[in-house]
């Protein structure tokens, strides 16, 4: 991997693209450190220090992860990339449900451009809702669960300025991600997510050392490297289904007769099921927090605070694991259509050796997909439980550096970016038969 980066910097065109990506990342991280107008920075920092020693940040673990820690600091990029991720997932689900969106997807590049535009609009709407909720929690003092004023003023003007600033920050993040995609290397949004996850990594590792000493720090580092190697191995694992194309005459030319394969990854769903499950479990905890400040909170509030807030309770872990398994099967079922693949193979004269074309091919693909999704779902569930188990065993904070969403994002985006760099290098340094 390091060799690919070194060779890329020796190529002028790739060097310009990589430097452009680094410039966007610097701008992105700078915006994640600039406080939004009206925020009492001193009180926010005091509350963050108090929260780190407790469990208050557990409710915002996922959103704060994708903001690189900017959420709890109430910066102009406090929402991070999370509204865009949520909007993209919602649009992917709606494409299967709404015929109009499915027709747009089948139109090719023009239809995809339209869906991307819808994603932008939905992102801004979700950002507006999330910014309103976060600022309302900050104004009431419930965001970080401390008794200090996080804002200089609780007036309506300050409230509106903060909401508009955070929503505009999300729009700027979308623009930066699209700039990377167009002029840089790799997928812009994925690289920004990777940047935010990596940004919190040194602080969380150092927190483990300060709380538990060098021995625990070394053990966490060794286990983390082993986990990264295991995740790389499984992320690269795939089941290759051989496909043979028969020879056919089109005019005076002969086509076909080639052999290829359909790659079915073990982790076909990526990190999406973990995000789904985390978001679903986040809702009752957030609802309980809104109702816990009333004079006579309902009985269900205490039950949720006991089992679904910190995340180290066995009931929470079991629910989290089962939801990940369910969402893995659900997401794979809507993103990979065996019937469509079988029809396309039959249309172009392709077949799986030993399997008849048409319905038998569809049934075979569904069988293989269901078998391979089981280890993939169990793998995602176990990886996601690692930080929760660490929280229960060594009382580490919920942003445990190795495991869960963070390690999946780090490995997945890094592998994809390196593959794209190597592809660009092969295009520019191809050696034919004559040397």
**In a 10 Å sphere around its CB, with 0-12 CB exposed, 13-18 middle and 19+ buried, how is residue 256 labelled?**
middle
Q: What is the pLDDT of residue 108?
A: 75
**Segment 62-114, tens digit of pLDDT:** 556 666 666 667 888 888 888 888 888 888 878 878 888 888 887 877 888 88
Beta carbons within 8 Å of 378's beta carbon, 6+ residues apart: 325
Extract the tokens encoding 92. 């992917």
Q: How large is the C-alpha radius of gyration of the chain?
A: 24
Burial 81-120 (b: 16+ CB within 10 A, else e): bbbbbbbbbebbbebeeeeebeebbeeeeeeeeebeeebe
> How far is it, in rounded angstroms, from Cα 365 to Cα 337?
9
Rounded to whole angstroms, the Cα distance separating 383 from 397 reads 17
The answer to whether the Cα torsion of 393, 397, 398, 404 is positive or negative is negative
- At 285, list the tokens: 């905890």
Per the document, the length of the chain is 435
Cα 147-153-159 angle, rounded to 5 deg = 105
CA distances to 11, 244, 252 from 429, in Å: 10, 31, 36
CATH 1.10.3370.10 domain residues, the chain: 1-204, 237-394
Judge contact between 51 and 146, C-beta under 8 A: yes
The pTM of this model reads 0.76
Residue (of 410, 351, 400, 77) closest to 208 by Cα position:
400
DSSP state of 154: -
> CA–CA separation, 400 vs 413, rounded Å?
19
CB contact at 8 A, 414 and 195: no
Mean pLDDT by 10 residues, the chain (435 residues): 69 85 90 84 72 47 61 79 83 82 81 87 91 82 68 84 91 91 84 82 77 79 82 86 75 67 85 79 71 67 70 78 89 85 83 85 90 90 77 54 72 82 73 45
> How far is the CA of 298 from the CAs of 59, 260, 355, in angstroms?
19, 60, 59
- CATH second-level architecture of 1-204? Orthogonal Bundle (1.10)
Predicted confidence at residue 59, as pLDDT, reads: 45
> Residue 265 is encoded by which pair of tokens?
């990854």
Q: Please tell me the distance from the alpha carbon of residue 274 to that of residue 327, in angstroms, as a whole number.
A: 8
Res 394: pLDDT: 57
274 contacts: CB under 8 Å, gap ≥ 6 = 324, 380, 383, 384, 404, 405, 408
Q: CA-CA distance, 104 to 116, in Å (whole number)?
A: 11
Sequence-distant (≥ 6) Cβ neighbours of residue 96 within 8 angstroms: 102, 334
Secondary-structure class of domain 237-394 per CATH: mainly alpha
Structure confidence at residue 123 (pLDDT):
92
Distance CA 427, CA 136 (A): 52
Parallel, antiparallel or unpaired: strands 259-265 and 253-255: unpaired
CA–CA distance, 139 with 220 (Å, rounded to integer): 38
Cβ contacts of 175 within 8 Å, gap of 6 or more: none
């Amino acid at each position: 991997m390091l060799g690919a980066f070194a060779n890329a910097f020796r190529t002028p065109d790739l060097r310009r693209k990589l430097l452009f990506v680094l410039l966007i990342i610097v701008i992105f991280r700078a915006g994640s450190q600039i406080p939004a107008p009206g925020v009492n920075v001193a009180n926010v920092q005091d509350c963050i220090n108090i929260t780190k020693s407790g469990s208050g940040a557990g409710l915002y673990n996922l959103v704060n992860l994708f903001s690189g820690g900017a959420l709890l600091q109430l910066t102009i990029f406090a929402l991070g990339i999370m509204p865009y991720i949520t909007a993209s997932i919602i649009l992917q689900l709606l494409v299967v449900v709404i015929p109009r969106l499915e027709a747009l997807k089948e139109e090719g590049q023009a239809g995809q451009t339209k869906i991307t535009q819808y994603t932008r609009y939905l992102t801004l709407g979700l950002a507006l809702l999330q910014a309103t909720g976060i600022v309302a929690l900050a104004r009431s003092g419930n965001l970080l669960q401390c008794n200090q004023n996080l804002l200089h003023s609780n007036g309506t003007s300050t409230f509106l300025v903060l909401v508009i600033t955070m929503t505009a920050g999300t729009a700027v993040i979308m623009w930066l991600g699209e700039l990377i995609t167009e002029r840089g290397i790799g997928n812009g949004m994925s690289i920004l997510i990777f940047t935010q996850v990596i940004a919190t990594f040194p602080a969380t590792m150092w927190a483990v050392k300060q709380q538990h000493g060098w021995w625990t720090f070394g053990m966490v580092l060794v286990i983390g490297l082993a986990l990264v190697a295991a995740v790389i191995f499984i992320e690269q694992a795939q089941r290759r289904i051989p496909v043979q194309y028969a020879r056919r005459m089109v005019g005076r030319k002969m086509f076909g007769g080639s052999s290829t394969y359909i790659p079915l990854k073990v982790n076909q769903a990526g990190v999406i099921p973990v995000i789904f499950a985390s978001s679903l479990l986040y809702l009752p905890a957030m609802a309980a927090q809104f109702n816990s400040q009333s004079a006579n909170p309902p009985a269900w509030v205490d039950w949720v605070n006991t089992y679904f807030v910190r995340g180290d309770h066995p009931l929470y872990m079991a629910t989290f694991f089962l939801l990940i398994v369910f969402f893995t099967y659900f997401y794979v079922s809507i993103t990979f259509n065996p019937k469509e693949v079988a029809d396309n193979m039959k249309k172009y004269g392709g077949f799986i050796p030993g399997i008849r074309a048409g319905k038998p091919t569809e049934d075979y693909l569904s069988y293989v997909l269901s078998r391979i999704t089981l280890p993939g779902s169990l793998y995602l569930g176990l990886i996601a439980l690692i930080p929760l188990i660490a929280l229960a065993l060594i009382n580490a904070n919920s942003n445990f550096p190795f495991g869960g969403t963070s390690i999946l994002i780090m490995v997945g985006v890094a592998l994809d970016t390196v593959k794209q760099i190597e592809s660009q290098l092969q295009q520019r340094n191809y050696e034919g038969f004559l040397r």
